[in-house]
């Protein structure tokens, strides 16, 4: 049964935020995998694929034709939905495009050039269930940014192949190359390159604890989007919500993982009790009950507060991945929400909209990192370079000031570098 508390009884707010530390055993195992992949390339990738996935294809890279053929293996109704979701994601993310700019004053030109990354690796989980939405969320913004080559890695199923729906979605989204490999070995291969798998500039996409830890360890030689933890949802309601709907929304995240977090903060004791009863009722008929029940019993919470403002204050402290504001006038409170990965406003806006179809990105900061992190966006697939130009006259007007500043920091070489240029140089 989910716990119900009143705010006055909440002694430890950490119960609302699940910041999991890396497992030392996972850290050590991943470190060894990365070391071996760097040293032995494809041979190590194959070894670990057989060890962890049970098999390894003869050829790591799938031919391009396999993506096109996969389209014919997916029901047309589902393909239509995937294409429509892709269009919605593209429409939303296209508004994020940045432009290069120039600032010019007397004798000086300052420029910022915005360019796409050359190569990006997209990790798509696929060992237990296919996630075509992950393909769209990671690839569509990269295509909009203009990334030259998008390489997807995904583990094969127990049948030794990548799900056709994943491949069809990759084809629709515009993936350039696909490799049949997953786990920490795939991340290591993308970070350092092997005989078959090229090194990329950045790795994006979610995965299990081993994938997340691998991304953490390879950061530096390669960029990463974020280190994602278990899914989170925090629902705020003034008591007028349907408890069956609130319970369903909470379970939508609890079914992801036994470590997922589902929280309701409400001003209504009646809604709290009714939602708890609904959670029990719905759990009994949920296909993933075994996972969701552990999540609810270990990490779930219903908290009763005096006001919606109090609820939002707590939500800002939690900085949840997903925040649902289930009230009649949600825009009255938008300005109060400061820390959340993605916010869903009103009573007709379930979090699942963002997972699939609204167009916003579902790759989000977790574990409280929404207090500084952001959803995956086009910005994750670009780089910015600054350019500076000064004429001799322009430099002459500021060089003494620069020298003074440099000497204040005891960097005489900096000062001399500026002062060494004469008025006519």
**Tokens standing for residue 25:** 């055993």
In the sheet that holds 108-116, the strands lie side by side as 101-105, 108-116, 382-390
Q: Give dist(CA 301, CA 265) in Å, integer.
A: 8
Place of tokens 């939303």: 92
**Chain-centre distance for alpha carbon 387:** 31
Residue 71 C-beta-side C-alpha neighbours within 13 Å: 14
Q: Which two tokens stand for residue 183?
A: 């786990």
Q: How far apart are CA 348 and CA 184, in angstroms?
A: 39
For residue 266, give the nearest of 244, 233, 237, 234 by alpha carbon.
237
Which residue among 321, 324, 351, 362 is the active-site one?
321
**Neighbour order of strands in the sheet with 3-6:** 3-6, 301-304, 261-266, 232-237, 322-326, 342-345
Q: Which residues contact 52 (CB under 8 A, 6 or more apart)?
A: 182, 183, 185
Exposed, middle or buried, 56 (CB in 10 Å: 0-12/13-18/19+)? buried
Catalytic member of 93, 256, 322, 362: 322
Contact 316, 326 (CB under 8 A): no
Query: What does the block give as tokens for 379?
Result: 């910005």
Residue 49's nearest CA partner among 179, 155, 176 is 155
Please provide the DSSP assignment of 163-214 as one string: -HHHHHHHHHHT--EEE---HHHHHHHHHH--SSSPP-SEEE----HHHHHH
CA distance 383 to 368: 26
**What DSSP string describes 403-425?**
HHHHHHTT-HHHHHHHHTS-TT-
Query: Measured between alpha carbons, how far is 237 from 304 in angstroms, rounded to an integer?
Result: 10
Is 93 one of the catalytic residues?
no
What is the pairing mode between strands 382-390 and 108-116? antiparallel
Q: Is 322 a catalytic residue?
A: yes
Active site (catalytic) residues:
321-322
């Amino acid at each position: 049964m989910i716990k119900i508390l009143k705010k006055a009884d909440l002694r430890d707010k950490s119960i609302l935020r699940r910041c999991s530390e890396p497992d030392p055993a996972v850290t050590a195992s991943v470190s060894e995998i990365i070391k071996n992949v760097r040293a032995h390339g494809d041979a190590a990738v194959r070894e670990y694929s057989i060890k962890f996935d049970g098999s390894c294809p003869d050829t790591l890279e799938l031919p391009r034709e396999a993506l096109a053929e996969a389209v014919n293996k997916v029901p047309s109704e589902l393909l239509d939905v995937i294409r429509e979701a892709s269009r919605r994601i593209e429409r939303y993310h296209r508004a994020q495009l940045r432009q290069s700019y120039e600032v010019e004053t007397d004798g000086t030109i300052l420029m910022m050039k915005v360019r796409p990354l050359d190569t990006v690796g997209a990790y798509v989980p696929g060992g237990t269930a296919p996630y075509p939405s992950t393909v769209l969320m990671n690839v569509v913004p990269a295509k909009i940014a203009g990334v030259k080559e998008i390489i997807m890695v995904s583990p094969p199923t127990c049948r030794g192949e990548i799900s056709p729906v994943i491949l069809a979605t990759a084809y629709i989204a515009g993936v350039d190359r696909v490799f049949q490999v997953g786990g920490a070995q795939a991340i290591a291969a993308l970070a350092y390159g092997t005989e078959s798998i090229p090194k990329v500039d950045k790795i994006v996409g979610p995965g299990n604890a081993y994938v997340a830890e691998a991304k953490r360890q390879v950061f530096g030689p390669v960029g990463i989007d974020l280190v994602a933890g278990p899914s989170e949802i925090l629902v705020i309601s003034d008591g007028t919500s349907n408890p069956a709907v609130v319970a369903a929304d909470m379970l939508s995240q609890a079914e992801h993982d036994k470590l997922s977090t589902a929280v309701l903060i409400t001003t209504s004791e009646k809604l709290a009790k009714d939602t708890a009863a609904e959670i029990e009722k719905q759990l009994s008929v949920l296909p993933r009950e075994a996972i969701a029940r552990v999540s609810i019993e270990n990490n779930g919470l219903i908290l009763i507060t005096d006001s919606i403002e109090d609820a939002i204050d707590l939500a800002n402290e939690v900085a949840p991945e997903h925040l649902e504001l289930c009230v009649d006038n949600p825009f009255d409170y938008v300005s109060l929400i400061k820390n959340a990965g993605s916010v869903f406003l009103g009573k007709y806006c379930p979090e699942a909209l963002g997972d699939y179809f609204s167009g916003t990105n579902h790759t989000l900061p977790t574990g409280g990192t929404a207090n500084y992190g952001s959803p995956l966006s086009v910005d994750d697939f670009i780089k910015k370079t600054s350019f500076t130009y000064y004429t001799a006259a322009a430099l002459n007007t500021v060089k003494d000031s620069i020298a003074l500043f440099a000497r204040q920091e005891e960097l005489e070489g900096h000062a001399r570098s500026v002062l060494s240029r004469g008025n006519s140089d």
